[in-house]
């Protein structure tokens, strides 16, 4: 029988920086094996055995998002707050899960002894809403959950992911309620009854992205068209076509993104305290070219400095791409891997980070290589200053206009007002920045 554990850890990075930031985790491995994967010097605050770590972690994250500061800039499972309270909350949720399991067990011993081995009965006890199998032998196809986009089912040879959540048995085991199933028989039955060799696939337009929004603590996938800034419902608006979520590594966006009243003038105002007008327009132009409509090849120059707040323009842009774009949309240029990677992924933008001893000729050669491969958006981060960041004026503006900025942000919570992450935190001005980037000037 598989063991399940929930843990709370204070990683070495935040111990050294004396920050009260902790990570919630789950594992079905022996705890010592999982913990060894963290940096040496990290401190385990709690390891507790539980019945279903997948369900318990979801409940814990749901509570922690309301009660503590979620540090999405680091990762979905990182939270800032009092670790003693976190331990208490985790223990209560784990105990509650054990009580529910015990009640279900007492309610019907007979039903517990019944083995479910067919598709129809299985679907009564799972959050899965639909399955399409396109290859019976390899058990490949697509799977859908209510209000979510479709996900691809890989054969077991390709599915080398944590928790095996990519092939059909992984999906069945991770997304079913506490019942006794013969998973292998169910998988075979699904392959026979849900077979469709050539299902209709909806191909997203260049300006369309799958976004995940959080509405009343429930996740929902929508299609955002950055050209019109209108959203479509994946279930109702696309006529039975399979819409694949190619997995932006996104955090759920606040539903504020759907509002018609998003103020984008605040983005211009904040940027004007940091860089000059011409640089703002160049920046907005490449953002539009990446997210809405590629009309020309654009090379945008930034300054990759370790001073003060660093290369803010590149940081905000790369975070935006990682949040709403599919995997592979952004590529950091590497001489050793570029040929294979660029041809496979066809990224929307390539970042070049130069070295201090790079000549203009060497940089120009890299640009020509990338342009010849059809890449239309390139960001060059120079080590020597080619633009002037006015950090002092920028920080002064944020400090002086806190109330105004907070009134326009998603959560209107001062805890999320951060100089570096003001346009990359969903709780701050991320939505304003996204709409600004999708506005043509």
Average pLDDT, the chain: 81
pLDDT band (50, 70, 90) for residue 241: confident
pLDDT > 70: what percent of the chain? 82
Q: By C-alpha distance, which of 23, 35, 19 is closest to 60?
A: 23
Task: With beta carbons less than 8 A apart as the criterion, state whether 212 and 254 touch.
Answer: no
Residue 389 maps to a domain: yes
Per-residue 3-state assignment (H helix, E strand, C coil) for the chain: CCCEEEEEEECHHHHHCCCCEEEEEEECCCHHHHHCCCCCCCEEEEEEEECCHHHHHHHHHHHHHHHCEECCCCCCCEEECCHHHHHHHHHHHHHHHHHHHHHHHHHCHHHHHCCECCHHHHHHHECEEEEEEEECCCCEEEEEECCCCEEEEECCCCCCCHHHCCEHHHHHHHCECCCCECHHHHHHHHHHHCECCCCCECCCCCCEEEEEEEECCEEEEEEEECCCCEEEECCCCCCCCECECCCCCCCCEEHHHHCCCCCCHHHHHHHHCCCCHHHHHHHHHHHHHHHCCCCCCEEEEEECCCCCCCCHHHHHHHHHHHHHCCCCCEEECCCCCHHHHHHHHCCCEEEEECCCCCCHHHHHHHHHHHHHCCCCEEEEEECCCCCCCCHHHHHHHHHHCHHHHHHHCCCCCHHHCCCCCCCCCCCCCHHHHHHHHCCCC
Domain boundary among 193, 209, 242: 193
Single out the residue in 59, 85, 107 at which a domain terminates.
107
Confidence of residue 41 (pLDDT cuts 50, 70, 90): confident
Residues 371 and 432 both lie in one domain: yes
Question: The domain containing residue 124 runs over which residues?
Answer: 119-193
| 96 and 165 part of one domain | no
Query: Within this chain, do residues 94 and 173 fall inside the same structural domain, yes or no?
Result: no
Check whether residue 141 and residue 99 sit in a common domain: no
310 and 423 share a domain?
yes
Q: How crowded is residue 415: how many other Cβ atoms within 10 Å of its Cβ?
A: 11
**Domains held by the chain: number:** 3
79 confidence band (pLDDT: 50, 70, 90): very high
Task: Evaluate whether residue 241 is within a structural domain.
Answer: no
**Region 128-142: what's the mean pLDDT?**
91
Same domain, 316 and 405: yes
Tell me which of 159 and 89 has the higher pLDDT.
Answer: 89
* CB contact at 8 A, 305 and 385: yes
Does residue 344 fall inside a structural domain? yes
Does residue 93 belong to any structural domain of this protein?
A: yes
Reply yes or no on whether the pLDDT at 101 is more than 70.
no
Q: Categorize the per-residue pLDDT at 245 as very low, low, confident or very high, splitting at 50, 70 and 90.
A: low
pLDDT value at 178 more than 80: no
Sign of the Cα pseudo-torsion (88, 94, 97, 99, in order): negative
Query: φ, ψ for residue 282 (rounded to 5)?
Result: -65, -40
- Decide if 238 is inside a domain: no
**Do 270 and 383 lie in a common domain?**
yes
Query: Does 89 fall in a domain?
Result: yes
In a domain, 87, yes or no: yes
pLDDT tens-digit series, residues 360-378: 888 898 899 888 888 999 9
Residue 269 has pLDDT above 90, yes or no: yes
* Same-domain check for residues 93 and 152: no
Q: Are residues 157 and 273 in the same domain?
A: no
Residues 100 and 125 in one domain: no
pLDDT higher than 60, residue 108: no
The pLDDT of residue 59 is: 92
The verdict on 271 and 338 lying in the same domain is yes
Cβ atoms of 158 and 81 closer than 8 Å: no
Residue 49: what pLDDT? 87
Q: Which residue has the higher pLDDT, 409 or 352?
A: 352
**Is residue 223 one of the residues assigned to a domain?**
no
75, 107, 139 - which closes a domain: 107
Which of 218-222, 285-289, 363-367, 393-397 shows the lowest mean pLDDT across its residues? 218-222
The reply to whether 128 and 82 lie within a common domain is: no
What is the rounded CA–CA span in Å between residue 350 and residue 225?
Answer: 23
pLDDT confidence tier of residue 255, bands split at 50, 70 and 90? very low
Say which residue the tokens 């699904």 belong to: 190
> Using 50, 70 and 90 to split pLDDT, how confident is the model at 286?
very high
């Amino acid at each position: 029988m598989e063991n399940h554990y929930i843990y709370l850890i204070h990683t070495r990075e935040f111990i050294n920086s004396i920050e009260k930031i902790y990570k919630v985790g789950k594992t079905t491995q022996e705890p010592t094996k999982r913990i060894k994967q963290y940096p040496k010097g990290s401190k385990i605050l709690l390891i507790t055995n539980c019945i279903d770590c997948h369900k318990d972690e979801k409940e814990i994250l749901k509570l922690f998002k309301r009660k503590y500061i979620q540090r999405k800039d680091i990762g979905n499972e990182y939270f800032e707050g009092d670790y003693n309270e976190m331990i208490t909350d985790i223990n209560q949720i784990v105990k509650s899960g054990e009580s529910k399991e015990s009640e279900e067990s007492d309610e019907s011993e007979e039903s517990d002894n019944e083995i479910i081995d067919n598709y129809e009965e299985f679907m009564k006890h799972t959050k899965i809403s639909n399955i399409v199998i396109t290859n019976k032998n390899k058990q490949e196809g697509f799977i859908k959950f209510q209000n979510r986009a479709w996900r691809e089912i890989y054969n077991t040879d390709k599915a080398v992911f944590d928790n095996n959540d990519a092939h059909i048995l992984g999906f069945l085991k991770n997304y079913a309620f506490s019942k006794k199933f013969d998973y292998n028989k169910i998988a075979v039955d699904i392959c026979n009854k849900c077979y469709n060799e050539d299902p209709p696939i909806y191909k997203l337009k260049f300006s369309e992205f799958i976004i995940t929004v959080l509405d009343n603590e429930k996740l929902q996938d929508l299609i955002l068209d950055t050209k019109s800034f209108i959203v479509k419902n994946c279930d109702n608006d696309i006529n039975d076509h399979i819409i694949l979520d190619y997995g932006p590594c996104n955090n759920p966006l606040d539903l504020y993104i759907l509002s018609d009243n998003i103020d984008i003038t605040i983005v211009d105002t904040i940027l004007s305290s940091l860089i000059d007008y011409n640089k703002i327009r160049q920046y907005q132009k490449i953002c539009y070219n990446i997210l809405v409509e590629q009309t020309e090849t654009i090379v945008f120059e930034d300054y990759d400095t370790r001073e003060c707040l660093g290369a803010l323009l590149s940081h905000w842009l790369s975070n935006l791409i990682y949040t709403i774009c599919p995997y592979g949309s952004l590529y950091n240029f590497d001489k050793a891997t570029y040929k294979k990677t660029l041809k496979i992924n066809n990224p929307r933008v390539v970042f070049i980070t130069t070295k201090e001893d790079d000549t203009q000729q060497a940089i120009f050669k890299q640009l020509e290589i990338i342009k010849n491969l059809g890449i239309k958006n390139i960001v060059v981060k120079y080590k020597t200053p080619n633009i002037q960041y006015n950090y002092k004026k920028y920080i002064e503006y944020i400090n002086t206009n806190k109330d105004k900025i907070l009134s326009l942000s998603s959560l209107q919570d001062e805890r999320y007002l951060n100089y570096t992450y003001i346009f990359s935190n969903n709780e701050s001005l991320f939505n304003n920045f996204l709409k600004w980037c999708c506005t043509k000037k």
